Amino acid sequence: MPRAIVLCGSPRKGGNTDLMADAFTEGARQTGAEVEKVYLDDLWIRPIAEVADVPEMRVDLRQDDDARRLLDRVLAADIVLFAAPVYWQGVPAQIKAFVDRWACYWGQQGFREAMGRKVFAVVTAHASPEAQEGDWVINQVRAWADFLGARFVGSARFGGCEKGAVARSKDVLEQCRELGREASRVTAEV
């Protein structure tokens, strides 16, 4: 059974990104995946500290927060969904701070191999009705997948800032469900 972790980067529970993540979860569960949803805003994750130039010598100087425990959960998952609204042409700080911390573990035994076996997907909401506004987040997650050797299976986006407005957009929610189903199916191939 595939294991998925949903990294919800929006502090707005019940908002568009959150509802899209729920639809992804529903789709993944329909194909037998076990899904855990994490609200990064509920965790204490500090920005990255200085790291050594040589990856194998890097140490996470800020292990007193929640980042390492969450990273262990990510490493145990097969699927990683980044649920991230567009904030100032990128992912929210909650997600960026967590992903930046991965640099501390880049040189550790098994980290790259484990990340290379992951399936990444992204759902994003943005205030602008212009679809390309979602590219700020989608392209960032795709770049992370490429860099880590993970498989990027796709994205879903919604343009609108009214809290919960995506609930009226059945086609977007179905895209999210299908993305969850596809991520679960692809996991068997990775």
Q: What is the SS3 assignment for 42?
A: helix
Instruction: Please give the model's pTM, rounded to 2 decimal places.
Output: 0.94
State the residue range of the domain holding 122: 3-187
Cα–Cα distance for residue pair 6/9, rounded to 1 Å? 9
Domain tally, the chain: 1
pLDDT in tens, the chain (190 residues): 899 999 999 999 999 999 999 999 999 999 999 999 999 999 999 998 888 676 777 777 778 999 999 999 999 999 999 999 988 888 999 999 999 999 988 888 899 999 999 999 999 999 887 778 899 999 999 999 999 999 999 999 999 889 999 999 999 999 999 999 999 999 977 5
If we measure between CA atoms, which residue out of 6, 1, 42, 41 comes closest to residue 156? 6
Cα–Cα distance for residue pair 150/161, rounded to 1 Å? 31
* 69, 109, 173 from 126: Cα distances, Å: 30, 38, 15
Q: What is the DSSP string of 47-99?
A: PP----SSGGG---TTTTSSHHHHHHHHHH-SEEEEE---SSSS--HHHHHHH
Q: How many CA atoms lie within 13 A of 11 on its CB side?
A: 8
Which CATH number does the domain housing residue 72 bear? Answer: 3.40.50.360
- The tokens describing 80, both together, are 């990683």
Report DSSP state, residue 41. G
* 34, 62, 66, 107, 146 from 124: Cα distances, Å: 22, 29, 24, 30, 19
Type of residue found at 43 = L
Give yes or no for a contact between 144 and 120, defined as CB atoms under 8 angstroms apart.
yes
* 23, 115, 173 from 162: Cα distances, Å: 18, 35, 16
pLDDT of residue 58: 73
